[in-house]
C-alpha cells in the first residue's frame, strides 16, 4: 500500500525550472502529476538566480543612467544606493512571479507536495515517511554553488551568489572569483551600485566559453567602467583580516577586499537522495541520461542542472517539456544544445547562439564572417551604447553562429536563434525588414553584408 494514494502517471522530484515545466506540460497532456519541492516552487532561477540578479542589474542600470543623465540633457542628482529598497524591489519582482507560478501549477491540477524527497525505487519517492508512486519518475533536483579546495564559505566575508543577493550592506571593495556568467553579472551590477570590483579568472579571458572577440569587447568595456580583472591567474588562498579578506593569487599577488564572491560554477544536487541505491548512474554528480533525458533505469528521467547540459533555465524548461511529452507518448526529438541562446546580462550584454568561429573551424567548416559595429546603428548611438554583431556562415551555406555584444543585446538573440535553428542562409534573412531605428537593424545589416549586399557599411 502506498501512502501517497494510488499511483500517478508522473512523480517529479524538484520544483525548479526543469521540474515545474515538466509537471505543467504533463498535466496539460492529461497526466496525473505529483510535484515534490522542499523549498519554494520556482527553484534557483526564480528565487536565487535569473530573476533577482536581473532585478539587481536593472537597479544598477538605473543608477548608471542617473549618474549619466546630464549627457542626455537631463538634470538629475545621484544621491546614492538604498540597498534595503533595492532588495524590496527585487523581492517584489520575485514574489509577483512566485504567486503567478503557484497559481499556474495549482490551476493545472498538479498535486504539490512540500518536503524533502528521496528516491526509494524505480517508481517511488518518499517524503517524510509517505511514499508517492509514479508510472514514471523525473529527477529535477538542480544544482548548488561549488567551491574550491581550501575555500570555506562563511556567508559574510566569503560568499556564494545566494549570499551576495541577500547582503544588507554593499561592500566597498569586492573580489569576484570566476569570470564566467555569474561572476561577470555580479561584477557588473556591483560596479553600477558603486562597488570597487576585481574579477579573478584562471582562464585567459572573461567569459571563456564565448567568441574570443566578444570577450575582448567585454573586457574593453569593463576597463572603461573601472571593473578590474585578472585573467590567467588562479586563486591560491584567502585569509580573513580584521576588516575583510586578503586573497592570494597563484602569481603571489594579493588582493584586499571586504568580501570574496565565489562564482566558480555550480554542482549537481544528487548526493544522499537514493539515486545510486536505485541504480541511477551518476558521473561527477550529474545524472547520466540519453539524448531524450532518459536514464538507464527505464522509468526514470532527469532534467535541468542535474544533468550535464547547459545550466540555463530555458534548457531546463525544454528538457522538462521533452520528458513530459515522451512520457505522454508524443513523438520527441533531442534538443540541439548549440541552438540554445546564451546571454550574460552584464553591461554590456554578451549574447550568442550557434557555434563560435573556433568551434566551426574545428568541425571542418570553411567560414565567412561579418562583424557589424554598433557605431553605425542609429538606436545604439541614441543609447550611447557600443558593441558589435558578429555573424558567421558556412561558405555558401547557412548561418553557423551569431555573437552579440552591447546594451540590451539579450533581446536580439531571440531573432538570432530562429535564424540559426532554421538553418537560414544570409540570403534568406537579407530581404527581411528590421524596424528603424532599432538595434535589430544591426543583425539585418550583418546578414545583408554576408549576402554580398552591405548597406550601411564603410569600405
Ligand X SMILES: Cc1cc2nc3c(=O)[nH]c(=O)nc-3n(C[C@H](O)[C@H](O)[C@H](O)COP(=O)(O)OP(=O)(O)OC[C@H]3O[C@@H](n4cnc5c(N)ncnc54)[C@H](O)[C@@H]3O)c2cc1C
Q: Is 178 in the site for ligand X (CB under 6 A)?
A: no
- Contact flags string 194-233 toward ligand X, x per CB under 6 A: ----------------------------------------
Nearest alpha-carbon partner for 348 in 188, 116, 190: 188
148 and 235 Cβ atoms separated by less than 8 Å: yes
CA distances from 104 to 42, 220, 359 (A): 12, 43, 40
Q: Is 440 in the site for ligand X (CB under 6 A)?
A: no
Residue in the structure block whose three cell numbers are 540633457: 73
Residue 172 and residue 399: Cα distance in Å, rounded? 45
Q: Is 37 in the site for ligand X (CB under 6 A)?
A: yes
Q: Is 142 in the site for ligand X (CB under 6 A)?
A: yes
Among 111, 123, 143, 417, binds ligand X (CB under 6 A): 143
Among 4, 8, 10, 15, binds ligand X (CB under 6 A): 15
Q: Is 110 in the site for ligand X (CB under 6 A)?
A: no
- Who contacts 143 (Cβ-Cβ below 8 Å, separation ≥6)? 44, 266, 267, 268, 269, 304, 305, 306, 311
Range 409-428, binding ligand X (CB under 6 A): none
Task: Between 89 and 98, name the residue whose CB sits nearer to ligand X.
Answer: 98
Beta strand extents in 87-192 (DSSP E only): 111-114, 117-121, 124-127, 130-139, 143-145, 158-159, 173-177
Q: Is the dihedral of CA 110, 111, 114, 117 positive or negative?
A: negative
Residue 378 and residue 401: Cα distance in Å, rounded? 24
Cis preceding linkage at 138, omega within 30? no
Among 206, 312, 392, 443, binds ligand X (CB under 6 A): 312
List the catalytic residue out of 403, 436, 456, 458: 436
Residue in the structure block whose three cell numbers are 542589474: 57
Quick one: which segment of 13-21, 128-136, 231-239, 286-294 binds ligand X (CB under 6 A)?
13-21
Among 57, 158, 182, 385, binds ligand X (CB under 6 A): 182
Is 314 considered catalytic here? no
Task: Between 16 and 444, name the residue whose CB sits nearer to ligand X.
Answer: 16
Q: Is the dihedral of CA 96, 98, 102, 104 positive or negative?
A: positive
Q: Which three cell numbers stand for residue 111?
A: 498535486
Q: Is 19 in the site for ligand X (CB under 6 A)?
A: yes
Q: Which three cell numbers stand for residue 331?
A: 513523438
Q: Is 269 in the site for ligand X (CB under 6 A)?
A: yes
Task: Between 205 and 314, name the residue whose CB sits nearer to ligand X.
Answer: 314
- Contact flags string 234-253 toward ligand X, x per CB under 6 A: --------------------
Among 4, 43, 179, 244, binds ligand X (CB under 6 A): 43
Q: Is 180 in the site for ligand X (CB under 6 A)?
A: no
Residue 7 and residue 86: Cα distance in Å, rounded? 46
Task: Between 116 and 240, name the residue whose CB sits nearer to ligand X.
Answer: 116
CB of 234 to ligand X, least distance (A): 22
140 and 303 Cβ atoms separated by less than 8 Å: yes
Q: Is 90 in the site for ligand X (CB under 6 A)?
A: no
Q: Is 314 in the site for ligand X (CB under 6 A)?
A: yes
Task: Between 132 and 372, name the residue whose CB sits nearer to ligand X.
Answer: 132
CA distances from 407 to 29, 188, 320, 382 (A): 40, 12, 31, 12
DSSP 191-227: HHTT-EEEEEESSSSSSTTS-HHHHHHHHHHHHHHT-
Among 138, 238, 245, 273, binds ligand X (CB under 6 A): 273
Among 58, 116, 225, 456, binds ligand X (CB under 6 A): 116
Task: Between 346 and 440, name the residue whose CB sits nearer to ligand X.
Answer: 346
Task: Between 34 and 269, name the residue whose CB sits nearer to ligand X.
Answer: 269
Task: Between 2 and 382, name the residue whose CB sits nearer to ligand X.
Answer: 2
202 and 227 Cβ atoms separated by less than 8 Å: no
CB of 35 to ligand X, least distance (A): 9
143 and 17 Cβ atoms separated by less than 8 Å: no
Q: Is 4 in the site for ligand X (CB under 6 A)?
A: no
Phi-psi region of 343 (alpha: psi -120 to 50; beta: other; left: phi over 0): beta
CB of 36 to ligand X, least distance (A): 5
Beta strand extents in 178-311 (DSSP E only): 196-201, 228-231, 235-240, 245-249, 254-257, 259-262, 266-268, 282-283, 286-287, 300-302
Q: Is 391 in the site for ligand X (CB under 6 A)?
A: no
Q: Is 10 in the site for ligand X (CB under 6 A)?
A: no
Q: Is 304 in the site for ligand X (CB under 6 A)?
A: yes
Q: Is 268 in the site for ligand X (CB under 6 A)?
A: no
Q: Give catalytic residues, as residue numbers.
A: 436
Write out the residues near ligand X by the rule CB under 6 A.
13-19, 36-39, 43-45, 48-50, 53, 116-117, 140-143, 161, 182, 269, 273, 304-306, 311-314, 316, 345
Amino acid at each position: 500500500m502506498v501512502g501517497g494514494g494510488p499511483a500517478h502517471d508522473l512523480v517529479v522530484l524538484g520544483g525548479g525550472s526543469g521540474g515545474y515545466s515538466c509537471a505543467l506540460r504533463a498535466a496539460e497532456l492529461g497526466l496525473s502529476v505529483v510535484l515534490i519541492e522542499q523549498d519554494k516552487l520556482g527553484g534557483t532561477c526564480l528565487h536565487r538566480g535569473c530573476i533577482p540578479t536581473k532585478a539587481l542589474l536593472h537597479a544598477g542600470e538605473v543608477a548608471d543612467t542617473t549618474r549619466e543623465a546630464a549627457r542626455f540633457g537631463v538634470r538629475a542628482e545621484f544621491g546614492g544606493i538604498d540597498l534595503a529598497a533595492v532588495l524590496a524591489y527585487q523581492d517584489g519582482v520575485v514574489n509577483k512571479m512566485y504567486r503567478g507560478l503557484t497559481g499556474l501549477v495549482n490551476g493545472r491540477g498538479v498535486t504539490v507536495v512540500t518536503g524533502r524527497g528521496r528516491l526509494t525505487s524505480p517508481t517511488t519517492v518518499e517524503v517524510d515517511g509517505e511514499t508517492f508512486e509514479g508510472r514514471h519518475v523525473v529527477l529535477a533536483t538542480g544544482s548548488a554553488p561549488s567551491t574550491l579546495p581550501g575555500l570555506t564559505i562563511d556567508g559574510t566575508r566569503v560568499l556564494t551568489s545566494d549570499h551576495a543577493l541577500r547582503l544588507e550592506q554593499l561592500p566597498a571593495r569586492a573580489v569576484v572569483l570566476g569570470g564566467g556568467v555569474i561572476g561577470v553579472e555580479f561584477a557588473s551590477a556591483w560596479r553600477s551600485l558603486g562597488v570597487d570590483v576585481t574579477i579573478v579568472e584562471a582562464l585567459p579571458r572573461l567569459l571563456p566559453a564565448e567568441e574570443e572577440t566578444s570577450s575582448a569587447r567585454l573586457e574593453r568595456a569593463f576597463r572603461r567602467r573601472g571593473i578590474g580583472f585578472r585573467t590567467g591567474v588562479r586563486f591560491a588562498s584567502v585569509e580573513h583580516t580584521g576588516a575583510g579578506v586578503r586573497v592570494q593569487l597563484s602569481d603571489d599577488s594579493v588582493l584586499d577586499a571586504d568580501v570574496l564572491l565565489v562564482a566558480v560554477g555550480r554542482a549537481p544536487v544528487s548526493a544522499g537522495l537514493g539515486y545510486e541505491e536505485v541504480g541511477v548512474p551518476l558521473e561527477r554528480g550529474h545524472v547520466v541520461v540519453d539524448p531524450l533525458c532518459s536514464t538507464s533505469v527505464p522509468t526514470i528521467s532527469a532534467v535541468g542542472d542535474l544533468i550535464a547540459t547547459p545550466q540555463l533555465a530555458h534548457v531546463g524548461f525544454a528538457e522538462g517539456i521533452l520528458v513530459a511529452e515522451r512520457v505522454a507518448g508524443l513523438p520527441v526529438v533531442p534538443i540541439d544544445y548549440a541552438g540554445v541562446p546564451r546571454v550574460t546580462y552584464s553591461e554590456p550584454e554578451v549574447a550568442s547562439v550557434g557555434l563560435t568561429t573556433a568551434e566551426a573551424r574545428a568541425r571542418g567548416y570553411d567560414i565567412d564572417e561579418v562583424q557589424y559595429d554598433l557605431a553605425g546603428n542609429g538606436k545604439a548611438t541614441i543609447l550611447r551604447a557600443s558593441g558589435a554583431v558578429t555573424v558567421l556562415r558556412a561558405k555558401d551555406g547557412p548561418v553557423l553562429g551569431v555573437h552579440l555584444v552591447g546594451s540590451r543585446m539579450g533581446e536580439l538573440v531571440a531573432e538570432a536563434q530562429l535564424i540559426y535553428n532554421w538553418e537560414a542562409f544570409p540570403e534568406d534573412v537579407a530581404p527581411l525588414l528590421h524596424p528603424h531605428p532599432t538595434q535589430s537593424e544591426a543583425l539585418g545589416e550583418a546578414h545583408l553584408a554576408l549576402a554580398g549586399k552591405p548597406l550601411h557599411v564603410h569600405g
